[in-house]
Structure 1
Amino acid sequence: MTDVVLAAVLGALGGIALTVLLLLARRLARGATDLGSEAERAALQALHQASLAAPHLRAGLAAPDVVKAARHLRVLLGSAAVAVVSSDGTVSFDGATDGLESAAVRIAAQVRSSGRRQVFPAPGRADELEAVGAPIVVDGEAVGAVVAFAAPVRAALVRAAEEVADWCAAQVELGGLDASRAQLAEAELRSLRAQISPHFIYNALTAIASFITTDPARARELVLEFADFTRYSFRRQGEFTTLAEELGSIHSYLELERARFGDRLRVTLRIAPETLSTVIPFLSVQPLVENAVRHGLEPGEGGGEIRIASRDDGTHAEITVEDDGVGMDPDALRSLLTAGDDGRHVGLRNVDTRLRQVYGPGGGLVVETNSGAGTLVRMRVPRSQPLNDPDND
C-alpha cells in the first residue's frame, strides 16, 4: 500500500469511518458508479477486511481461527507477512514464511516486554524484510503482539500496525464479554436448579410417600412424573428449549403439586398450537408456574386456579401465567425485580434477568398484580430465533 492508502486505513479504523460509509451509501443510493477517491475506496476495503477478521479473534489469540484473522490483517496492512503472537508463544502467521515465524516470536517477546511498538531493521541486505511489532494490550496487560513484515517498513505501516494491535485488543475484550455472558447465563441456570431442590423436591417425595400404601398405582405414576421433571430440570445441555418441551415439564410439576393440594389446585391451559415450536430460554416458564403455586396459591387456605396461555401475534409468541391467589404490592414487586430481596421470588427475578440478557432491555417480564388480586406474568418471545436453535446448543 502507498502512504496515502495506509493513512486512509488508519482513518477507517477511527471515527472517520462512519463519515466515509455514509458518503458511500449516499452515492450508491443515487446509483452513482464512482466509489469516490482513492482514500474512500481504501477505507471501505479496510473496513471490509476488519469485519472479516473480527470473528476469528473473539476466542483469544491462541485459538486456531486466529490464522484466518492474520490473513485479513495482512491484506489490511498491505505487508508481505503478518504474525499474531499470543503471550504463550502461539503464532498465527500469513504470508511468505522463509523462517519469519521464529523471528516473529522474538519480536513479539520484545514488544510485549517493552509495552510499545518497535521497528526492527533487516539484519542483512537492504532488500530483506524489515519488521514492525506492536503489543496487544488488554486491561493493562500485553496479551500478545502484531508483527508485520515489509521491505521497507514505512512510517505509515508503523502507525497502522499500532492501530491494528489496538483493534485486535478490542476484539479480544469483546470475546471475553461474550464468554462472561455465557458464564452468567449458566450461573443463572445453576441458581434456578438450586432453587428447585430445597423448595420442591422434599414436598414431592413426601406426597409420593403418602400414596405408597393407600394407592400404589398413583404412587408409581407420581414417581414417573418426578423422574421426568428432574430429568428435564437438571439436564446439562443447552440454554434454549421449545415451549412444547417446557410445557411437558410443567405438566409433571403440576401433577406432583396436585398430589399435595388435591382439588384445591385447578389448572387451565389455553395454548395456541402454532406457538408450541417457539424457542424459549430453558427454564423460563416453569419458574413462573412454580412462583404462582408457592407465592400465589399456597399462602391462601382455599387454593386457587392457575391459567397458562400462549398466543401468536405474528412476530412474537406471548406466554402468560396467571393465578387468582394473594398477589402482592406493586411497589414491593418493583423493588424485587430491580434491587433483589432476601431470597423469595428468586425464580421470577432470575427469569426477568435472563430474558433481558437474551432479548434486550425491553424483553423482560411484564407483571400485573396487587394485594389480594392475584398475579399475571407475561413474556413475549420472538417467533424467529435462528441463532437460539436448541438443536445447535
Structure 2
Amino acid sequence: MPDSPLFTAAALAVIVLAVAVVVGVGLKVVRSFRDLGTDAERATYNTLHAASRAGQHLRGGLTETGAAKASKQLRTLLACDALAITDTGSVLAWDGVAEDLKPLLMGLATGVLNSGRTAVVPHAANTPGSYSAVIAPIRAGSSVVGSVAALAPAVGAGLVRATSEVADWIGTQLELAELESSRTLLMEAEVRALRAQISPHFIYNSLNAIASFINTDPARARELVVEFADFTRYSFRRHGDFTTVAEELRCIDRYLLLERARFGERVQVSLRVAPEVLSTVIPFLSLQPLVENAVRHGLEAKEGPGHIIICANDSGAFAEVTIEDDGVGMDPEHLRSVLAGHIDGDHVGLRNVDARLRQVYGDQHGLVIETAPGEGTLITMRVPKSQPGHDA
C-alpha cells in the first residue's frame, strides 16, 4: 500500500540519505578549496593566472585585438572600474564602465606619453563623472610606445603603484614579442645566406655540366635540366621555415645527381634511412648544406674517388642524422673558429645550420662535428621527433 507506514519510512530514509550525500560532497568541495592554500596563496595564484592569460594576447605586439583581450584580464588584476590601453596615437582597448570618457583619454595621456612619467588625473580635472584616472607609460626599450589607464572613484597610492607595475609588465611582454620577431627575421636571413651560398658556385657548375651533355647525350641533359629545376624550386621556395627529413633527402638526391654529372664516379654515396624518421620536422635547408660541405670541402680537394654516407636513425625521442665523408677533413681549431663566427669564408653553411639548430632547439642540439686533417668528417644532427609548434 502506498500510504503504509513502511513506505513512508522508506521514503524518509531515501531523503535523509540524499541529504547526507549532498552535505558530504559539499564538505569535500569546501575542504578541497581550503587545500589550495591560504588566502594569500590563492590571491598569488589568481594574479599569476591573470597575468599569464593576458601575456598570451600580447605576444603579437601592441595590437588592437591583443590589447582588447588582455585588458579584461588586467582590469581584474588591478580591481579597477575601467582599464584602457593606448599606443602613441589612439585608444586600442577599453574594458569596464565610463566608456563615455574614451574620447578624452588621448588628450589626458599626452603628457604621460611625452614625459614617460605616471600621472594621476582627478575627476575635477576635465574628467566628467565621478572617476579619477591613473595613467602610466608603457616602455619598450628606451621608447614610450603606449600607456595604461586605470579608472576608479578614488585613486590611492596602491592603485598608482600597481598600474605602473602593470605598464612595465606590458612593456616586458612587448620586448619579448619583438625579440621573437627578431629571432624569426634572423632565421630567415640565415636561410637567405644559405641560398646565396648555393647560388653562385653550384648553379654555375651545374649549368656547365648540363651544357657538356647537350651534344653528346641530349636525353641526359634533359634529365639534368629537370632535376636542376626541381632543386632550385625547392631551395628558393618562399614559404615555411621548416620541412621534413623526407623532403630534405629528396633535395639532396637532386643535388648529388647534379654533382655526379660533374664528378662522375669520384662521388660515391650510401644512404641508410629508417622509415619512421622520414616525417620528422627539421629546419628548412639544414641537411643539404651539410652534404654540399662534404662534396665541396671534403671530396673535391681529394685525389681519386670519395665516399659520402648519409644515415637517418630513430633514436628514441629524437631523429639522428649523420653525414660522413672520407675526404680531406678539417683542422678542429679552425672549425671551432668558423662555428663561433670568428672566421668568414669557407664552411658558412655549417655555421648557419649550427646557429639555426641552436636557436630552434637549444644549445644542446647544435651540430656535433668530428674531423681532422686527412681523416674525413662526421657530422651529427639530433632533433626532437615531436615538434607541435613547427609545421613543415
Task: Please give the TM-score of this superposition, normalised by the length of structure 2.
Answer: 0.89
- Greater radius of gyration (CA): 2
What residue number does 2:146 align with? 144
- Considering only aligned residues, what root-mean-square deviation do their CA atoms show, in Å? 1.7
Contact map agreement 1:127 1:151 (CA 8 A) in 2: no
What residue number does 1:182 align with? 184
Once the two structures are overlaid, the 10-residue window that deviates more, 143-152 or 338-347, is 338-347
Question: Aligned equivalents of 2:185 and 2:99: distance in 1?
Answer: 42
SS in structure 2 of the partner of residue 320 of structure 1: strand
Contact map agreement 2:338 2:344 (CA 8 A) in 1: no
Shift of 1:33: 3.1
What residue number does 2:60 align with? 59
Letter of the 1:49 counterpart: A
Question: Within the alignment, does 1:92 sit opposite 2:93 as a pair?
Answer: yes
Shift of 1:32: 8.2
Letter of the 2:69 counterpart: K
SS in structure 2 of the partner of residue 158 of structure 1: helix
What residue number does 1:196 align with? 198
Shift of 1:300: 1.1
What residue number does 2:213 align with? 211
Shift of 1:126: 10
Shift of 1:127: 6.7
Question: Aligned equivalents of 1:346 and 1:102: distance in 2?
Answer: 55
What residue number does 1:106 align with? 107
What residue number does 1:38 align with? 39
Unaligned runs of at least 5 residues, structure 1: 1-30
Task: Label 1:336 to 1:211 Cα distance change in 2 as closer, same or farther (>3 A).
Answer: same
Letter of the 1:42 counterpart: A
What residue number does 1:381 align with? 383
Letter of the 1:72 counterpart: Q
Q: Cα deviation per residue 1:13-34 (whole Å; 9 max; x = unaligned)?
A: xxxxxxxxxxxxxxxxxx8834
Task: Label 1:125 to 1:171 Cα distance change in 2 as closer, same or farther (>3 A).
Answer: closer
2:369 pairs, out of 362, 367, 370, with: 367
Shift of 1:63: 4.1
Q: Cα deviation per residue 1:91-141 (whole Å; 9 max; x = unaligned)?
A: 211112431212322222221122211111113899711111001112222
Letter of the 1:304 counterpart: G
Provide the aligned length of Structure 1 versus Structure 2: 361
Contact map agreement 2:133 2:152 (CA 8 A) in 1: yes
Contact map agreement 2:149 2:163 (CA 8 A) in 1: yes
What residue number does 1:11 align with? none
Letter of the 2:116 counterpart: G
Contact map agreement 2:91 2:102 (CA 8 A) in 1: no
Task: Label 1:288 to 1:126 Cα distance change in 2 as closer, same or farther (>3 A).
Answer: closer
SS in structure 1 of the partner of residue 345 of structure 2: coil
What residue number does 1:23 align with? none
Letter of the 1:43 counterpart: T
Task: Label 1:312 to 1:243 Cα distance change in 2 as closer, same or farther (>3 A).
Answer: same
Contact map agreement 1:61 1:84 (CA 8 A) in 2: no
Once the two structures are overlaid, the 10-residue window that deviates more, 136-145 or 99-108, is 99-108
Question: Aligned equivalents of 2:91 and 2:98: distance in 1?
Answer: 15
Shift of 1:180: 0.5
SS in structure 2 of the partner of residue 146 of structure 1: strand
Question: Aligned equivalents of 1:126 and 1:180: distance in 2?
Answer: 43
